[in-house]
Amino acid sequence: MTKDIYVQARADHVASLASAAPLSAIEELVWNALDADAREVKIDLVQNALGGIDAIRVSDDGCGIDLLKVEETFGSLGGSWKMPDGTTTQNFHRRLHGRHGRGRFKAFALGTHVEWRTTMKAGDDLISYTLAGDASEPGVFHIEQTQPGPATGTEVYITGVRATADSLTVPGPAVQALAAKFALYLKAYPGVGVWFCGIPVSPVVVQKATTDYVVTLESGISAKLEVIEWRKKFSGKGRIVFCGGDGFTLHERPSGVRSGQPFSYTAYLVGGRFGELAAENALVMDELHPEVRAWLDATRKILKEHFRQRAASAAAERLAKWIAEKSYPFAADDDSPARAKFDAGVADMRANLEGFDALPTAERAYLFQLLLRAVGGDSQTTSVPAD
């Protein structure tokens, strides 16, 4: 069987949907897999001898793309196979993410040619086919039936990879960014696994700490606030993410609160009220909407206190370590002006010398002695300890 289907939308509109950042496109393909009841989703890069990307493959063990609904799935922009039920997946009744049928077109942000190689179940039989599209014809998809595969699932195979996708060759940042996006979903459904180049996309692996709070407005409405601190910094600042009661992301924005720590964070606001605000298009108004502004203000207040306490705790741990290793030249109860000047100098060192906290004991002690002389203090440490 060979057949063509056509998207009922202008080609330039379809092409505009394909202009997305590489990780955003990967995220949409993962959501499509999860919405098809996948329990395992694997993102792999097919690289050549020079380290360039020849192809990108996103494979899953979901239920596949229904051949009877493929024209509806790919031919109607704004429609989706997910609409009839509208809330949960077919087999495992997990919460659905997308409903507008747009995410599939983001695959073209990764490469110029995309093939959906899918196997579905029809009664007791398996049916396999390939659905292919090319950026040169953004509104046309070609269907060709193939020999049945061994099990249901879909592989999205992308070639003609765009230069912007080279950022994916460094897996660490990609894994952490995806873990932040899917954190609440993966916690809600622990039987689901996502892998990027063989590395598990798991919040547990990349998070440094997680703390829960309750945010309550003056009106009495409450929501859960989950603050996850990441082991490594993102390229951006901390973010506040509004989620529905089911944990799905509805809107996110920069938090405007600095952590003061060498790691970034994401603050998830979770509550049923946010689904209602999203339906009213209020969340996207941010500060311009009174209730959204109230949620943001209350969240920022908690975040500021959270990181104040975290900074104080981290400082106490550092000081205890320095005193124990005998590199710090003052006693813990010393309240002299010299110590105050010295501590200010140490803070400046930590801010400007990358890796200061990881210095060997002897090197740190030597720097402390130099700083002590500069501020005119009297050392209570008689010798520089050997490392």
Distances (CA, A) of 317 to 271, 313, 330, 340, 368: 35, 6, 16, 18, 17
Q: What is the pLDDT of residue 86?
A: 55
Per residue in 338-386, pLDDT tens?
999 999 999 999 888 888 888 999 999 999 999 999 887 665 543 444 4
Q: State the Cα torsion 376-380-384-387 to the nearest 10°.
A: -130
Average pLDDT, the chain: 87
What is the H or E stretch that residue 321 is in? helix 290-324
Residue 94 reports pLDDT greater than 90 = no
* Number of Cβ atoms within 10 Å of the Cβ of 55: 18
pLDDT at position 85 is: 47
What pLDDT is stored for residue 282 in this prediction?
97
Q: What is the pLDDT of residue 26?
A: 95
User: Which whole-number Å values give the CA distances from 61 to 125, 148, 194, in the listed order?
Assistant: 16, 15, 11
Q: CA separation (Å) from 315 to 75, 295, 334, 379?
A: 58, 30, 16, 21
Q: Could you read off the pLDDT of 115-138 as tens digits, one per residue? A: 999 999 999 999 999 999 998 887
Query: In the numeric block, which tokens belong to residue 105?
Result: 């077109």
Q: What is the pTM of this model?
A: 0.75
Residue 381: what pLDDT? 46
| C-alpha–C-alpha distance, residues 326 and 332, integer Å | 12
- The type of residue at 99 is R
% pLDDT > 90, the chain: 60
Supply the pLDDT for residue 84.
46
Give the span between the Cα atoms of 232 and 170, in whole angstroms: 14
- CA-closest candidate to residue 269, choices 297, 307, 230: 297
Q: How far, CA to CA in Å, does 68 sit from each of 71, 73, 245? A: 8, 10, 33
Report the distance separating Cα 310 and Cα 215, nearest Å.
19
Strand-pair partners of 40: 193
User: b/e for 269-297, b at 16 or more Cβ within 10 A?
Assistant: bbbebbbebbeeebbeeeeebebbeebbe
Q: For residues 276 and 242, is the Cβ–Cβ distance under 8 A?
A: no
Which segment of 42-46, 71-75, 302-306, 342-346 scores lowest on mean pLDDT?
Answer: 71-75
In angstroms, the CA 87 to CA 232 distance is 35
Q: Across-strand partners of 116? A: 131, 156
17 has a pLDDT exceeding 80? no
Contact at 8 Å (CB) between 131 and 143?
Answer: yes
Residue 71's pLDDT is 74
- At 13, is the pLDDT very low, low, confident or very high (cuts 50, 70, 90)? low
